[in-house]
């Protein structure tokens, strides 16, 4: 008898899934611990809270940090998530050659409503 094993995708394979069309361009998904998760629809309240939360940071001096809204952060070889708001270290290229990594992040914020349990169980480090 063969034991079942869950295949974990690494970030390179995750991007390949998008390249070949398995993941559609308009799908909002995240890679977390090698598993691809669909992100639910964005309610008006959720969007409003995210806008309200991020707005003050746009008044910071440009080179103090970069405000990143709903953009990826590569946590490791098996996780690349899209937090709602991040403040990352300033780079003149605005991370055009790679996504920010944990050492680049000053602040990371996630707005949650119905996904609170999932975020606590899956995204928070133990």
pLDDT, position 62: 83
Report yes or no: 14 and 78 within 8 Å, Cβ to Cβ.
no
- Token digits for 13? 């394979």
Q: Which domains does the chain have, with CATH numbers?
A: 11-112 (3.90.1570.10)
CA distance 122 to 126: 9
Pairwise CA distance, residues 43 & 91, whole Å: 32
Helix (H) or strand (E) holding 50: helix 44-54
Identify the three-state secondary structure at position 53: helix
Q: Supply the pLDDT for residue 30.
A: 94
- The answer to whether 73 and 101 have CB atoms below 8 angstroms apart is yes
pLDDT tens digits in sequence order for the chain, 126 residues long: 667 788 899 999 999 999 999 999 888 999 999 999 998 888 899 999 999 999 999 999 989 999 999 999 999 999 999 999 999 999 999 999 999 999 999 999 999 876 656 556 666 554
Task: Identify the pLDDT of residue 3.
Answer: 75
């Amino acid at each position: 008898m063969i034991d079942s094993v869950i295949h974990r995708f690494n970030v390179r394979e995750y991007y390949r899934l998008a390249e070949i069309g398995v993941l559609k361009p308009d799908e909002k998904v995240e890679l977390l611990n090698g598993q691809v998760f669909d992100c639910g629809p964005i309610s008006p309240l959720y969007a409003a809270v995210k806008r309200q939360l991020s707005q003050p940071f746009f008044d910071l001096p440009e080179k103090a940090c970069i405000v990143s809204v709903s953009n990826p952060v590569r946590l490791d070889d098996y996780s690349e998530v899209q937090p709602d708001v991040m403040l990352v270290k300033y780079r003149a290229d605005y991370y055009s050659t790679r996504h920010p990594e944990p050492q680049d992040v000053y602040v990371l914020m996630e707005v949650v409503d119905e996904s609170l349990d999932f975020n606590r169980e899956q995204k928070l480090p133990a």
